[in-house]
Chains A and B, each alone.
Chain A
């Protein structure tokens, strides 16, 4: 593996955005950064700016308003990038399946590479998700296929 390819999986910077969930998963993502889980071990930084991010960690069932935001953030993230949907409501809507303002899942708006289940997803599960996302990231090449053409 060349240095650049290696570097790509050794330095994933994440952007976290909540599309309307309950915060449960969001605080677990934050908990991953803290000493007990310390994902910085893997070079992960919570960077907070889509233009610097490699991994989008999206929580929540996506409501009509945050849909636009999600789309925008996805487009502003430079390739290669992966999307992790965290929590069951980000996967299907979960407990919010019958709420009128939700679309029911991140994959209705942008393509999702990894699903992490749980309500709320545990930090360990999130770490597993990141590890899987890194494998995906390794497979993607920069400047290759444009992933901007999402699902809808």
Chain B
């Protein structure tokens, strides 16, 4: 087989409200979920959805939401995303709603573990999040 060379990932910023429609579109075009990355940007979260096309290159969808805003889950469309969404919910406290399987913030963390350990700045405050 030929080596596949993948050029730089395609990037697109979408509004939270259009997320589901956009994901639907990508999926119907044959793309599949790779992963999600959540970044704490102070007042907002930036969440990157990485998709892989059948030609193997990556497509990124970037969503920015305020810290107390709700984000619809894409697990209804792509079951494969459910663990990652739970993880982000648990690590950052992102309010992801309509999860297909909801671990209620207890997927990886035990009751005694620090809460939202990867959150750096809490919503409406400047205090650092968990993780000592």
Give me the interface of A with B, judged by CB distance under 8 Å: 63-65, 67-68, 100-101
Contact = CB atoms under 8 A, between A and B. Distances in A.
A101 B114 CA distance: 7
Interface string B80-91: 000000000000
B110 A100 contact: no
B131 A100 contact: yes
A100 B112 contact: no
Contacts of B37: none
Contacts of B112: 64
Nearest to A64: B110
B14 interface: no
Contacts of A63: 110, 113
Interface string B81-114: 0000000000000000000000000001111111
19 contacts: A63-B110, A63-B113, A64-B109, A64-B110, A64-B111, A64-B112, A65-B109, A65-B110, A65-B113, A67-B110, A100-B113, A100-B114, A100-B117, A100-B131, A100-B132, A101-B109, A101-B110, A101-B114, A101-B117
B130 interface: yes
User: 6 closest Cβ contacts across the A-B interface?
Assistant: A64-B110, A65-B110, A100-B131, A64-B113, A64-B112, A100-B117
B110 to A, nearest CB: 4
A64 B114 CA distance: 10
Contacts, number: 24
Contacts of A100: 113-114, 117, 130-132
Nearest to A68: B110
A61 to B, nearest CB: 13
B105 to A, nearest CB: 13
A68 B111 CA distance: 11
A92 B110 CA distance: 21
B37 to A, nearest CB: 19
A149 B27 CA distance: 56
Interface string B111-122: 111100100000
Contacts of B109: 64-65, 101
Contacts of B110: 63-65, 67-68, 101
Nearest to B131: A100
A65 B112 CA distance: 8
Nearest to B114: A100
Nearest to B118: A100
A101 B108 CA distance: 9
